[in-house]
């Protein structure tokens, strides 16, 4: 169905995993054009072997989604017929400190892509927009986010994503752009930037460093293994109904503190013991809570299950074990990110 697919933000965590999944595990025979501006979380080294293996079926373009003319040129140059839009600033703490970046990328960038899709509406077959459960705000002790849950974002990040969601829906309803959308829960897995909870805790636990947990650690999130998310997006792009939104969840609600404890126990299993002889749970420290920290998120993903037959394959226990093993086996990748060495490679090759 698709021959020339743009993946925006393809050097980021989920984008990298999505490109790998599509090229390595599906019957897609076309070309992927990875468009990424290479902000701090974009790492083209994560796809270096893909570039070598797939030749001209994988193209990297360093470009800014906030530049309409540049994006229109990319779409025209590569005869693009589909767009999967991951590119976004996504870290809540950073959105509190520097909201301008989130407004520009998440709102203006999405708007520019929609304008391009409308300009090329005769050839664009699908525009899939990847969003987050954070647009729905905070749940109480009971209930789940459904596709029709009213939006109530509480951080600059979630507000910017909510705005982009509304723009995507509007371009479908007003201009006929063939969009689908998905709102996902917390992703974890290989290639995740170490500022996020799971990789930060894995790497700190390995090194015997403090494991900082916000507030009382009782905030609840639904955890989704990244490959399960990629499979869901691909299914939506092929079988989802234009104009529809699909919630993608892991059906794995856990308190943040419990997530950290599971990671500690796994690292204790596979790594050298601490010099003190104590469990890595002894490294847990509670720090001042994040501003506007939503208490609980939980996704109802029954719609995508009923209509498209997708359900997550990984439990948190199986997914987190795979994740810990991946970081243990790819310490060179983690080290290049944590030291900033990957940025030197980017400067040498793309700047």
Q: Residue 49 is part of a domain; what is its CATH number?
A: 3.40.50.720
Cβ–Cβ under 8 Å, residues 162 and 170: no
- 157 given a catalytic annotation: yes
Q: Which of 70, 134, 222, 294 is catalytic?
A: 134
**What per-residue confidence (pLDDT) applies to 134?**
95
**What per-residue confidence (pLDDT) applies to 52?**
94
Pairing of strands 245-248, 179-184: parallel
Residue 60 resides in a domain: yes
Cβ–Cβ under 8 Å, residues 10 and 19: yes
Measured in whole angstroms, how far is the alpha carbon of residue 293 from the centre of its chain? 19
Residue 221 resides in a domain: no
Q: Which of 78, 157, 171, 342 is catalytic?
A: 157
DSSP 151: P
**What per-residue confidence (pLDDT) applies to 344?**
84
Measured in whole angstroms, how far is the alpha carbon of residue 40 from the centre of its chain? 15
Nearest CA-CA partner of 333 in 199, 188, 224: 199
Q: If the chain, 351 residues long, is cut into consecutive pieces of 10 residues, what is the mean pLDDT of each piece? A: 96 98 98 95 93 96 98 98 96 90 97 98 98 95 95 95 98 98 97 93 96 96 98 98 98 97 97 95 96 92 98 98 96 90 80 58
Nearest CA-CA partner of 14 in 88, 78, 64: 88
- 24 given a catalytic annotation: no
Cβ–Cβ under 8 Å, residues 180 and 241: yes
**What per-residue confidence (pLDDT) applies to 41?**
87
Q: Which of 36, 89, 133, 228 is catalytic?
A: 133
Query: Which domain does 244 fall in, by range?
Result: 4-187+226-250+295-314
Residue 194 resides in a domain: no
Residue 197 resides in a domain: no
Residue 286 resides in a domain: no
How far apart CA 132 and CA 187 sit, in angstroms, is 10
- 342 given a catalytic annotation: no
212 Rama sector, left if φ>0, alpha if ψ -120 to 50, beta otherwise: beta
Structural domain tally of the chain? Answer: 1
């Amino acid at each position: 169905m698709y021959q020339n697919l743009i993946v925006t933000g393809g050097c980021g965590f989920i984008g990298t995993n999505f490109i790998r999944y599509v090229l390595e595990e599906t019957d897609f025979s076309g070309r992927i054009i990875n468009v990424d501006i290479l902000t701090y979380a974009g790492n083209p080294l994560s796809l270096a072997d893909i570039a070598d293996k797939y030749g001209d079926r994988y193209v990297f373009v360093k470009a800014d989604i906030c530049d309409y003319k540049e994006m229109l040129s990319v779409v025209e140059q590569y005869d693009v017929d589909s767009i999967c839009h991951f590119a976004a600033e996504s870290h809540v703490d950073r959105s509190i400190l520097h909201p301008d970046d989130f407004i520009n990328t998440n709102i203006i960038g999405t708007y520019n892509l929609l304008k391009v899709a409308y300009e090329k509406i005769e050839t664009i077959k699908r525009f899939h927009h990847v969003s987050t459960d954070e647009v729905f705000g905070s749940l109480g002790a009971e209930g789940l986010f459904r596709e029709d849950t009213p939006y109530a974002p509480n951080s600059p990040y979630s507000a910017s994503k909510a705005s982009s969601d509304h723009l995507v829906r509007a371009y479908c309803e007003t201009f006929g752009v063939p969009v689908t959308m998905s709102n996902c829960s917390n992703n974890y897995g290989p290639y995740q930037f170490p500022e996020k909870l799971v990789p930060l805790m894995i790497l700190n636990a390995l090194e015997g460093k403090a494991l900082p947990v916000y507030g009382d650690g009782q905030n609840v999130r639904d955890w989704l293994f990244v490959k399960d998310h990629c499979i869901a997006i691909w299914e939506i792009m092929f079988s989802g109904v234009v104009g529809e939104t699909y919630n993608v969840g892991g059906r794995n609600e856990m308190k943040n503190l419990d997530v950290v404890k599971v990671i500690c126990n796994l690292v204790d299993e596979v790594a050298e013991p601490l010099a003190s002889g104590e469990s890595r749970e002894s490294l847990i420290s509670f720090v001042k809570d994040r501003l506007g920290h939503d208490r609980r998120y939980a996704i109802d993903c029954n719609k995508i299950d009923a209509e498209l037959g997708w359900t997550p394959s990984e439990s948190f226990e199986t997914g987190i074990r795979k994740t810990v093993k991946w970081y243990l086996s790819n310490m060179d990748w983690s080290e290049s990110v944590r030291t900033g060495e990957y940025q030197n490679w980017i400067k040498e090759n793309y700047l």
